[in-house]
Amino acid sequence: MGDLMKYSKFYLDQFFNSINEYQSKVELLILANSFMQKTENIGWVMALNQLMNWQSMSERSGIWTYYEVLEIDSANVLIRILREYDERIILENYYKGIDNYLNEEIMNEVDNWIRCNETEIDRFIEHIFLMHRDWFYNYSAVTP
């Protein structure tokens, strides 16, 4: 743990206190990824990478671009977390697109679902971050 970045409690608090803002979620994910690169793969971090990428690619370029390059191992990490947290509706809609990126009707259906349920997806992402709040404070070797 010697070469991990050290962050102040204040620095981390500002992101957790504004967790409903997209930029705070992105910053926390960047921090989690940097911690993970120095240690081991952590399922919930890998799942959040996939979920936030899924959501943002739908908005930016259409969900087919996400599914076109999706690696099944990465999908399985997110599927496992969605099952673990009993997020059946997100799981059902996520699963629809797997191996269907050439099916325009299904891709439009998934894009529309994401657009209409952005708040629900954000709520789940925020929940995962908050469930692992202590991990951030412990792993980043927080300074006073």
pLDDT digits 0-9 by tens, 39-58: 566 889 999 999 999 999 99
**15 assigned to some structural domain:** no
**86 assigned to some structural domain:** yes
Backbone φ and ψ for 100, nearest 5 degrees, come out as -125, 20
pLDDT tens readout for residues 80-109: 999 999 999 999 999 999 999 999 999 999
**18 assigned to some structural domain:** no
**134 assigned to some structural domain:** yes
Q: How many domains does the chain have?
A: 1
What pLDDT was estimated at residue 5? 62
pLDDT tens readout for residues 14-28: 999 999 999 999 999
**124 assigned to some structural domain:** yes
Lowest mean pLDDT among 3-7, 52-56, 130-134: 3-7
Q: Tell me what percent of the residues of the chain surpass a pLDDT of 70.
A: 89
**56 assigned to some structural domain:** yes
Q: Which domain holds residue 116?
A: 46-144
What pLDDT was estimated at residue 138? 82
**pLDDT, the chain, mean:** 90
d(CA 46, CA 1): 20
> Residue 143 pLDDT more than 70?
no
pTM of the model: 0.86
Lowest mean pLDDT among 11-15, 47-51, 118-122, 139-143: 139-143
**132 assigned to some structural domain:** yes
Count the Cβ atoms, other than its own, within 10 Å of residue 123. 12
**Residues contacting 55, CB < 8 A, separation 6+:** 114, 118, 121
DSSP code per residue over 76-104 = HHHHHHHHHTT-HHHHHHHHHHTT-TT-H
**1 assigned to some structural domain:** no
What pLDDT was estimated at residue 4? 55
What pLDDT was estimated at residue 21? 94
